[in-house]
Amino acid sequence: MVSLTLQGITRKFGDVTAVDDVSLEITRGELFFLLGPSGCGKTTLLRLIAGFYAPDRGNILFDGQDVTRTPPHRRNTGMVFQNYALWPHMSVWENVAYGLGLRKVPSSEQKDRVSEALRMVRMDAYGERSPNQLSGGQQQRVALARALVIQPDVVLLDEPLSNLDARLRLEMRDEIRRIHDETGTTMIYVTHDQKEALSMADRMAVMDMGAVAQTGDPRSIYARPVSAFVADFIGETNFVAGRLTSAETPLSVETAVGVLHSTVEPAEGLSPGDEVVCSVRPEAIRVSEPDAAGGEEENVLDGVVRQTVYLGDHEQYSVRLDDGTLVKLVDHHPGRRRAGPGAPIRLKCDASQVVVLGKPG
């Protein structure tokens, strides 16, 4: 396993800047995600790491060694693709052994290593089968075994679960995490599925238009997004627009529906008078009980219930605030419906759950 350093990587295709000045540090043994919407450059970045493309600018280092000009077959990376890319005319065993043959590994060692790789992905009973006799999930396990058997320094996974149905995707998330933990190999995993990234990643880079918008572990990115793009892309959120009136913590934002306070340190430099948006997660908003003890109420939003959806373990509310802004919230203890469609409702949120962000351009 290796650490990876990307220094100012840029790659253009004609007029399109697919990867734009990306710098990242990925530590040894990390399960690191590149996450972002379609076209943000994550596959191009993975291919640059594999060596299939050369960057126009910047350097790629494996364990501090510059590999920017090293051809792919000298980088010792294992690839796993969305479409599995198994050889249809070879058995499962032969598919996994193929890379060892290329590397001239002696046949007795090949046998041990293929057995071990198939055991690792729980496919040891399927060595004689042909790939077209396997389910999609099984084929992806074989593709993983084929990547692991060469004992790569880093495994690169490009949307590996996209072709699987929802249930198998969930199962394979746990499997890949387990295999990662068992092997300790550095893995870089590309996906546009934020739930995959949140549930599996040690750390992730959220990408937008070729650039890294934010790097961090799942919890910090969810709780402290640095931009409206990240807040919106990772999980669900509500945006309430306003103008910053105090940039000292607690921050104050004047909105069309009242003043919102935030005790979250802003990521970027904001000044009083700036147009901003307040990001508040649905689970951070609660219904204010009308008979709650008096006193000055902070961070209150008044509106009218538009819709409620009861889902057993929780209930979703959609509320139209007095200025027309739609807000979603989640009640995790839906013993009773707090208000039905058309009813006025008062919402509250804690200042520690309000993240003030620069208004997107």
Binding segment (CB under 6 A) for ligand ATP, from list 34-42, 63-71, 308-316, 327-335: 34-42
Q: Pick one of 9, 24, 26, 40: the residue that binds ligand ATP (CB under 6 A).
A: 40
41 binds ligand ATP (CB under 6 A): yes
Q: 80 to each of 41, 61, 87, 119, how far by Cα in Å? A: 18, 21, 13, 18
3-state secondary structure of 244: strand
* Lookup: tokens for 206: 């959220």
Q: Pick one of 4, 33, 42, 261: the residue that binds ligand ATP (CB under 6 A).
A: 42
Question: Which 179-208 positions form the footprint of ligand ATP (CB under 6 A)?
Answer: 192
Q: Pick one of 18, 26, 123, 226: the residue that binds ligand ATP (CB under 6 A).
A: 18
16 binds ligand ATP (CB under 6 A): yes
**In what order do the strands lie in the sheet containing 300-310?**
285-287, 344-349, 300-310, 315-321, 326-331
43 binds ligand ATP (CB under 6 A): yes
DSSP state of 235: S
Question: Least separation, in Å, of the C-beta of 83 and ligand ATP?
Answer: 12
55 binds ligand ATP (CB under 6 A): no
Tell me the residue nearest to ligand ATP as measured from the CB. Answer: 43
38 binds ligand ATP (CB under 6 A): yes
Interface with ligand ATP (CB under 6 A), residue total 12
Q: What per-residue string of b and e applies to 54-91 under the rule 16 or more CB within 10 Å gives b?
A: ebeebebbbeeeebeeeeeeebbbbbbbbebebeeeeb
Q: Pick one of 1, 21, 39, 59: the residue that binds ligand ATP (CB under 6 A).
A: 39
Q: Where in 52-199 does DSSP place strands (E)?
A: 57-62, 65-66, 77-80, 154-158, 186-191
Q: Which chain residues interact with ligand ATP by CB under 6 A?
A: 13, 16, 18, 36, 38-44, 192
